[in-house]
Structure 1
Amino acid sequence: MNTKYIDLINQTFDFPQEEFKVDAKKELHFHDINTMKLAEEFGTPLKFTYLPKISQNIQKAKGWFKTSMRKHKYKAKYNYCYCTKSSHFKHVLDEALSNDIHIETSSAVDIDIVNSLKKTGKITDKTYVLCNGFKRDEYIQKIQDLIQKGHKNCIPIIDNYEEIGLLTNGIRKKINIGIRIASEEEPKFEFYTSRLGIGYKNIVDFYRRDIKDNSKVNLKMLHFFINTGIKDNAYYWNELSKCLKVYINLKRICPSLDSLNIGGGFPVKNSLAFDYDYAYMIDEIISQIKIACDEAEVQVPHIFTEFGSFTVGESGGALYKVLYQKKQNDRERWNMINSSFITTLPDSWAINKRFVMLPLNRWNDNYERVLLGGLTCDSDDYYNSEQHINAIYMPNYKEDKPLYIGFFNTGAYQETIGGYGGLQHCLIPQPKHIIISKNKEGKLEYKVFKEKQTPSDFLKILGYE
């Protein structure tokens, strides 16, 4: 009988996969990382960032766009931008920017990060800085300062009618701007139209009224963002079609308009059964833009993308130890981890986000169906099948044979949403964080970015010390 955990995986999925394999000891490897060895060396709970995956995904996307543009004889440029809000950490930005890319910002502090990166030579005045978000005093001022100091490719994306006046007030230089389209949301959403941007039907009139004869601004970009990301469904293609109609109508009356920002990201692998044809989606997008512009006899736009989760998501992981198993009734077995889902993987709790979850060891043992519980006293601190689609099966719990588990592709948003370095729910400590890179010889190098939070850290924040 095939009753071992490794049998279950082999029967259910195409395994091993590009980033996952099991060695002779039946321990899990993630890319080149022996996860069990990592857990034993640095302890658990543990967060890690595997930097080479960031560059790998960027280069994949660049390659897909290059291939598609060549195929369709698309005579314009492609610019890859990274959304800093997905992960603001310096090691993430340093790795991403080593691939000759650009960035997108969303708040005032982002501009301080831009200035810091400029001082260290990571970006230059030629690097595109696309400034999104609802802009008020501090953010406006810092964007103006960046432009005044000579950053040629800073493009504020207009979110509402008032922002042009705010951005140009007191500034001496003519600035390039973009306009964000307020896309219509999917029918399942609680609201009909995005709160961000300006409606499809209003953009051309807005240009004629506030931009066309304005000597202080130059319209360069139309920004198209879909909240649910780039998906092969009727909703996405319908919104893209409407966006292209706006671009074409604007281009006919605005010669300076030459760029289209197809915001909304690519999905990140969330299970071993994940199936998404990135190359096909890019090819279809380029094809649709080319066809629409050719039929209208207007020049195709330069393409910008803003990939945040896709850039950094698959570089992250979180490792835990199963402390104990609680049998609450005839059916439920609760494996209690040595941390909290609410604090370390907040998206799993807040929006029921699913991650790739696998045991690190004991793949040759029999398995059982379980629920996973966190350490806080909150009843929502759990990860289970009903919440995250598939049943959770793990090697059988045994007191004398410790079980370790890992959540993978957790690199986007979890640290900032979880309040990295600050207070955590029930004062559960933030785990130790490891940065994993490769040297010139291709050998893995490990660096402790932050140690596990201490009681003293919490007491200082709370005012007791």
Structure 2
Amino acid sequence: MNTKYIDLINQTFDFPQEEFKIDTKKNLHFHDIDTMKLAEEFGTPLKFTYLPKISENIIKAKTWFKTAMRKHKYKGRYHYCYCTKSSHFKHVLDEALSNNIHIETSSAVDIDIIENLKRAGKITDKTYILSNGFKRDEYVKKIQGLINSGHRNCIPIIDNYEEIDLLTDGIRKKINIGIRIASEEEPKFEFYTSRLGIGYKNIVDFYRRDIKENKKVNLKMLHFFINTGIKDNAYYWNELSKCLKVYINLKRICPTLDSLNIGGGFPIKNSLGFDYDYEYMIDEIISQIKIACDDAEVETPHIFTEFGSYTVGESGGALYKVLYQKKQNDRENWNMINSSFITTLPDSWAINKRFVMLPLNRWNDTYERVLLGGLTCDSDDYYNSEQHMNAIYLPVYKDEKPLYLGFFNTGAYQESIGGYGGLQHCLIPQPKHIIISKNNEGKLEYKVFKEQQKPSDFLKILGYE
């Protein structure tokens, strides 16, 4: 009878997988990382960033686009941009930029990061900086400063009708701009049209009225963003088709327009049953753009993408120890972890974000169905089947045999949403954070990026010290 946890996984999923495998001790390995060894050496709760995965995903996407463009004889270049809002950490940007990529910004402080990276030689004036978001005083001034300093490939993406005047007031040279399309949201959304950008039907008139004769700007890019990401469904393909019609109509009257930014990122793996054909999607996107432009007899645009979660999401993980099991009734066993989901994985309770969750050890033991609870007194501090896609099963809790578990592919947004380094709900401390890289010989190297928060850190913020 197959009653072990490893039997359950083998029966339910195709396992082992590219990044997950089990060693002879029946402990979990994530990529090259022995997760139990990591937990024992640095303690739990623990967060880690595995930097090689960032470069791996960038290289894959570049290869897929190159292959698709060659296949379809696509005349145009591809530019990979990283959305800094997914993770602003220096170690993330350093790793991503080592792959000759470009950057998308969304706030004023992003420009300070850009200036820092320029001083460090990580980027140059040739690096594309696509400045998105709703722009007001400070953000505008910093974009202007970047352009005035000679950063010729800074392209502000116009979000509303006022931004052209705001951006050009004080600029000493003609600048390149983009326009963001206000896409129509999926039917399940509470609103019909995105609050960001300018409506499909208004863009051509906007160009004729405010840009065509404006000696301060060149329209260079059309920016197309889908909030739910690039998915193989009727909604995405319909919005892409509408975007291409706008691009073609604009291109016919605007010779400087030569780039299409297909924003909206790729999904990342959120369960062992995840299935997404990245290569097919890229091939189909390139094919549809080329067919539409060829039929309209307009030149195909250079392609930009803005991948945030896809770039950094699968590099992250969080490790915990199960402290205790509470049996609340006949059916519910609560495994209490030694941290808080609200503190460390805010997406899991805020929007029911799904992550890959697996035990680190005891894969040869029998299993049980459980709920996972955090340390705070908040009733929302839990993780259950609603976030996990399937019922949560883990090796049976035993006092004498500690159980450790990990959440994987958590590298995007969790730190910024959770207020990294600041106050946390119920003052549960941020865990220790480890950076994992590879040296020139391919061996893993571990570096403590930040120790766990101390009570004194909270007291200082609160004004007690």
| TM-score normalized with structure 2 length | 1.00
The answer for the alignment partner of 1:291 in structure 2 is 291
Q: CA RMSD in A?
A: 0.4
The answer for the alignment partner of 2:452 in structure 1 is 452
The alpha carbon displacement at 1:314 in A equals: 0.1
Structure 2 contact 27–360 (Cα < 8 Å) conserved: yes
The answer for the alignment partner of 2:221 in structure 1 is 221
Aligned counterparts of 1:456 and 1:232: Cα–Cα separation in 2 = 50
| 1:161-310 equivalent positions in 2, closer than 5 A | 161-310=161-310
Residues matched between the structures, number = 465
Aligned counterparts of 1:290 and 1:244: Cα–Cα separation in 2 = 10
Amino acid at match of 1:163: E
- 1:394-414 deviation per Cα after TM superposition (whole angstroms, max 9, x unaligned): 000000000000000000000
Match of 2:385, SS state, is coil
Match of 1:220, SS state, is strand
User: Which ranges in structure 2 are unaligned for 5 or more consecutive residues?
Assistant: none
Residue 10 of structure 1 pairs with residue 13 of structure 2: no
Match of 2:362, SS state, is coil
Match of 2:388, SS state, is coil
The alpha carbon displacement at 1:216 in A equals: 0.1
Match of 1:39, SS state, is helix
Aligned counterparts of 1:187 and 1:175: Cα–Cα separation in 2 = 37
Residue 378 of structure 1 pairs with residue 358 of structure 2: no
The answer for the alignment partner of 1:344 in structure 2 is 344
Amino acid at match of 1:306: E
Match of 1:80, SS state, is strand
The alpha carbon displacement at 1:76 in A equals: 0.5
Amino acid at match of 1:451: E
The answer for the alignment partner of 2:84 in structure 1 is 84
Aligned counterparts of 2:388 and 2:440: Cα–Cα separation in 1 = 40
The alpha carbon displacement at 1:170 in A equals: 1.9
- 1:229-269 deviation per Cα after TM superposition (whole angstroms, max 9, x unaligned): 00000000000000000000000000000000000000010
Match of 2:167, SS state, is helix
Residue 416 of structure 1 pairs with residue 420 of structure 2: no
Amino acid at match of 2:300: V
- 1:57-110 deviation per Cα after TM superposition (whole angstroms, max 9, x unaligned): 000000000000000000100000000000000000000000000000000000
Match of 2:3, SS state, is coil
- 1:369-403 deviation per Cα after TM superposition (whole angstroms, max 9, x unaligned): 00000000000000001343210000000000000
Match of 1:386, SS state, is helix
Structure 2 contact 259–301 (Cα < 8 Å) conserved: yes
| 1:104-115 equivalent positions in 2, closer than 5 A | 104-115=104-115
The alpha carbon displacement at 1:8 in A equals: 0.3
Aligned counterparts of 1:355 and 1:141: Cα–Cα separation in 2 = 39
The answer for the alignment partner of 1:155 in structure 2 is 155
- 1:28-54 deviation per Cα after TM superposition (whole angstroms, max 9, x unaligned): 000000000000000000000000000
Structure 2 contact 352–386 (Cα < 8 Å) conserved: no
The answer for the alignment partner of 1:389 in structure 2 is 389
Residue 48 of structure 1 pairs with residue 42 of structure 2: no
Match of 2:265, SS state, is coil
The answer for the alignment partner of 2:440 in structure 1 is 440
Amino acid at match of 2:35: T
Aligned counterparts of 2:141 and 2:173: Cα–Cα separation in 1 = 14
Amino acid at match of 2:98: S
Aligned counterparts of 1:106 and 1:454: Cα–Cα separation in 2 = 32
Amino acid at match of 2:414: Q
Structure 2 contact 158–180 (Cα < 8 Å) conserved: yes
The answer for the alignment partner of 2:353 in structure 1 is 353
Amino acid at match of 1:132: N
Structure 2 contact 182–193 (Cα < 8 Å) conserved: yes
Aligned counterparts of 2:35 and 2:339: Cα–Cα separation in 1 = 18
The alpha carbon displacement at 1:464 in A equals: 0.3
Aligned counterparts of 2:278 and 2:369: Cα–Cα separation in 1 = 33
Aligned counterparts of 2:380 and 2:24: Cα–Cα separation in 1 = 37
| TM-score normalized with structure 1 length | 1.00
Aligned counterparts of 1:188 and 1:377: Cα–Cα separation in 2 = 32
Amino acid at match of 1:312: V
| 1:30-109 equivalent positions in 2, closer than 5 A | 30-109=30-109
Amino acid at match of 1:194: S
Amino acid at match of 1:359: P
- 1:287-327 deviation per Cα after TM superposition (whole angstroms, max 9, x unaligned): 00000000000000000000000000000000000000000
- 1:129-187 deviation per Cα after TM superposition (whole angstroms, max 9, x unaligned): 00000000000000000000000100000000000000001211101000000000000
